[in-house]
Amino acid sequence: MRLTVLTAITGVLVLAVIFELLRRRQLREKYAVLWMAVGVLVLPLAFFPHALDDLASKVGVATGISLLLFSGFVFLLLVCVHLSWESSRLEEETRTLAEEVALIRTELAKREEREPSHD
């Protein structure tokens, strides 16, 4: 029983944090959908930690909680990989921007040398 209280409180808290971040527009929409889905899936499990026991025994996992732990771990691993990919992409984009800035400055300096401004 005490386990259920713990998981229920945690589940509600997590969902509240996600909802609040969305409400303040701190998360992009693509992540919003993902995290809302996660919240909605996890919340019932927080109140009924044994809801997965049947499914677990069918796939050969001892208890529903182990199954949840395992799938949670895999899910988080995928999220991490996704974030690495996202940050690589961002680095590539900032690199392109840095190049543009450098070239524009060089062009500007050349022009000023040719026709010094009178300010």
Q: Using CB under 8 A as the criterion, which residues of the chain lie in contact with other proteins when the complex forms?
A: 95, 98-99, 101-103, 105-106, 109-110
- Cβ atoms of 48 and 8 within 8 Å: the answer is no
d(Cα 109, Cα 116) in Å, to the nearest integer?
Answer: 10
Closest to other proteins by CB, 6 vs 103, is 103
Please identify, using beta-carbon distances, which residue of 30 and 110 lies nearer to other proteins.
Answer: 110
Nearer to other proteins, 20 or 99 (CB): 99
Helix (H, G, I), strand (E, B), or coil: what is residue 3? helix
CB 86 within 8 A of CB 50: no
Q: How far apart, in whole angstroms, are the C-alpha atoms of residue 67 and residue 55? A: 9
Q: CB 79 → other proteins: shortest distance, Å?
A: 24
CB of 68 to other proteins, least distance (A): 36
Tokens 């949670």 — which residue? 72
Q: Given the complex with other proteins, which of 28 and 110 has the nearer CB atom?
A: 110
Tell the smallest beta-carbon distance from residue 109 to other proteins (Å). Answer: 8
Least distance in Å: CB of 94 to other proteins? Answer: 9
| CA–CA dist 50, 4 (Å, integer) | 9
